[in-house]
Structure 1
């Protein structure tokens, strides 16, 4: 038995039974160990951005970490953008990054790099295995930290630690410590604010946007009149019968106007809303300067439990009434007119299957889906969290692996989709039930909007060359078919509706290129 075998066994005994991988020479002993563990599902990604993004999507839906296998520092570096998104989503993940044998590092071979330095900015925990005897303890630590910190653990595996012999041991699952309690002063302050008649808003993030937590906060809202808002989070359980929290707008002016009335904000799962970017003459924070901010609970807390404690503190019973979303999906009329973001979102909403998972990386193309979502059949929404583009297709891969019996709808912008288009190949190889909708507007439309936000409304040749995706146009149908995914193009909303309706009624990966 070697160190790589021990690593696999520790992962498996703790329920980590999926490994998204793009290995290299230094990881071959770990690959051989994986081959001896048929209970570990190994999923190959053709780029490290697919690997890390898929592990993010998997953990968001499975509520447990996956492992990744990456090749030395450059392999890790290729996956850093989606590790940033996972870090912002507070996604549990165990990255295994292979490195040269410890005695070989002194010779500065071509792939030698500062792996710790690369890993730290995008990880919540970083550790290096010192040798075969250290494998069990380090792997257990990486796993524990990924769950307790709700985040990314990156563990460096030198080749000689992987191939070195270890004695077999009887393994058992790690016993996780209890989650920290919320601050009694913050609980008292939040309860006092809600009872005091001030215009209050409860701003939710993270696991506060799961159905059970939303139901509790819905009861609090019904009893106190507090408004409910949400920030971009790892996963939101939306739809009819659940409680809706209105998203804080992305646009700074809209966000400030929307939140202007509130005198007190209770934050659950995150901090106060801030702008994605700074703009001349505009604020960085969205709440009014005089608004009292109470941070009731953070990602490290049990957020459903925190909301339950708040309800109890203000005397809201567990069977108190709340206002569930009304089912309105059947009232949606088939869209007509131009093929655009609004009409596409209506077609998607109208045909959304029950218990679907929406993976969204289409900020400028979301259309009316967010507004329609509360009245649709219950579903999950997992968005781009950290703003690093190129995660939509990999998120769908991970969600499809985690939930093979659920339909995955990937709403994908065309520019960002090209960052990790290789994920379509993994969808085909794993026969994942994913419908990918590409909003083919042939532009970085989000950046065109940002140019206007800083006061530039007329784009010259150089700006257009950097913001347009034409000359030549991307052919998404050919790209998809080249990777084994069946595809079709829609140039009218009627064509799109027919294609989408057919795609959700069948199994397996399918891509629709919506030429807007």
Structure 2
């Protein structure tokens, strides 16, 4: 048996049944193994950043490791931004990178590069397989490593000759590393903290599932503790019937106001909050002076169990107050981000997955979704834009019975718009609401916040933040990639388009024209 066939067969045996890929010459034997091992589903992407983002979205929703196949060092480099987002999310992800045949490396061919050096920037585990007889076992070690530290990227470098050589055999799966159990001392310290007025419980990472949110809601109901969710949650069960919790603000000033007066800050699966960027005269550490920070559970700990133990200690008889289902119909007339967000909330199906890369529109979208149908949100965990379209691909592959609604800013969509082709090819149930304000609107805001000054749209600086002249035609672009699309400019038209997309199988794009910001 060839090395690649043994590797793919072992992955299937270990429960990995999908591989997102953008292969090249060095990966041809892996591709051929898809015929020999038909249980493995290959999903083709037109760009490596789509493949890596899709693997991230798949793992977040499936709750198990994802696999991605990339071509040599440049292919890995092209996929790096969404691997960065996956790393920040704690996503268990196996990244297989093809390499030149071992005896070809000495020729320093044009695509030769230091793959392991690039891989280590995002991976917690890196290994180059050196023999076909070992490759399946190497893959099983890599897969097991994805569960360590609460979830990480493991990169297996696969030389072409290791793929094509005979003598390989499948290897059995290795046990995944379980999360650490809650620390009784940390639970006790958190119990003392939330018993005091003014405590804040910041939820993130593994603490955002339905059970964990219910436990947090009971703690809040019994003690008056304020609940906050990290700014960009990796996988958050929210909406009607679940505790109503605000996100920590993106801008430092917003977060500082939310945390002002906190007597203590208890972290459950979240990192201690810091500003996304440094600004003149604005603190980078967002914890108020004198506020103690207590770690109830880090990302490698069973955060749900820790919250349930804390709830048992301080709120044994409490009941979480659920958010009502009361998303109102938005006002008619020309669209803006508020009416757009209200329309999305009003039409959101039960059990939907919302992929949120709305960026500047997020301030309106987040509160609108709090009383929408119960759903799961995936967000831009690492801040590297272009995550939304591919993450929607992975989420839809992982949960074909759940509709996916991707709320997508126009500028960041152009980074990975090729993902729509994969949505069309796989006939995925994804509705993309693309917010077109013809600008990198967030950067217009940031230009002033960083002290660089205001940007006149007619000026040279303003032109660097503008997406007009020419303005991309997203309806034409989507149609050209095989996705039916509409352009809407009013609330009524958006509501009608959302119903149209929901009524038909397969992907759709709705280009929502909203006023420019700044």
TM-score normalised by length of structure 1: 0.96
In structure 1, how many angstroms separate the alpha carbons of the residues matched to 2:512 and 2:368?
Answer: 20
Q: Do the aligned residues in 2 keep the contact of 1:342 with 1:368 (CA within 8 Å)?
A: yes
SS at match of 1:127: strand
Length-normalised TM-score, structure 2? 0.96
Once the two structures are superposed, residues 351-381 of structure 1 have per-residue CA deviations (whole angstroms, 9 ceiling, x without a partner) of 1111111111111023532112221111111
1:129-176 CA distances to partner (integer Å, 9 max, x unpaired)?
12112212211111111122302111100111111222535x543222
Structure 2 residue runs of 5 or longer lacking an equivalent are none
Matched residues in 2 for 1:322 and 1:437: separation?
32
The alignment of Structure 1 onto Structure 2 pairs a total of residues equal to 510
**Deviation for aligned residue 1:403:** 1.0
Deviations 1:291-342 (A, max 9, x none): 0001111111111111122223x2432x53221111213xx12322331111
Task: Describe the SS at the equivalent of 1:420.
Answer: coil
Aligned to 1:267: 267
The residue number in structure 1 matching 2:424 is 428
Tell me which residue corresponds to 1:453: 449
Residue in 1 aligned with 2:85? 85
Secondary structure class of the residue paired with 2:147? helix
Aligned counterpart, 2:50: 50
* Mean CA deviation greater in 491-500 or 59-68: 491-500
Q: How has the CA–CA distance of structure 1 residues 132 and 347 changed in structure 2, closer, same or farther, with 3 Å as cutoff?
A: same
Alignment of 1:103-182 (within 5 A): 103-149=103-149, 150-169=151-170, 171-182=171-182
Superposed CA deviations along residues 210-268 of structure 1, whole A, max 9, x for unmatched, are 11011111111111111110102211101111123211001111110111110101101
Structure 1 CA distance for aligned equivalents of residues 204 and 235 of structure 2: 9
SS in 2 for 1:277: coil
Asked if the contact 1:347–1:497 (Cα under 8 Å) also holds between the matched residues in 2, the reply is yes
1:7-18 alignment, distance < 5 Å:
7-18=7-18
Q: Which moved more, 1:199-208 or 1:237-246?
A: 237-246
Q: Take 2:362 and 2:220, find their aligned partners in 1: how far apart are those partners?
A: 27
Match of 1:228 in 2: 227
Rounded Cα–Cα distance in structure 2 between residues aligned with 1:467 and 1:118? 30
Inter-partner Cα distance in structure 1 for 2:178 and 2:78 = 35
Change (3 A) 1:79 1:213: same
- The aligned residue for residue 255 of structure 1 is 255
Using the alignment, how far apart are the partners of 1:429 and 1:225 within structure 2?
50
Could you tell me how far 1:508 is from its partner in structure 2? 1.1
Equivalence for 1:199: 198
Question: Cα gap change, 1:458/1:43 in structure 2, threshold over 3 Å: closer, same or farther?
Answer: closer
Shift of 1:124: 2.0
Cα separation, 2, equivalents of 1:510 and 1:167 = 44
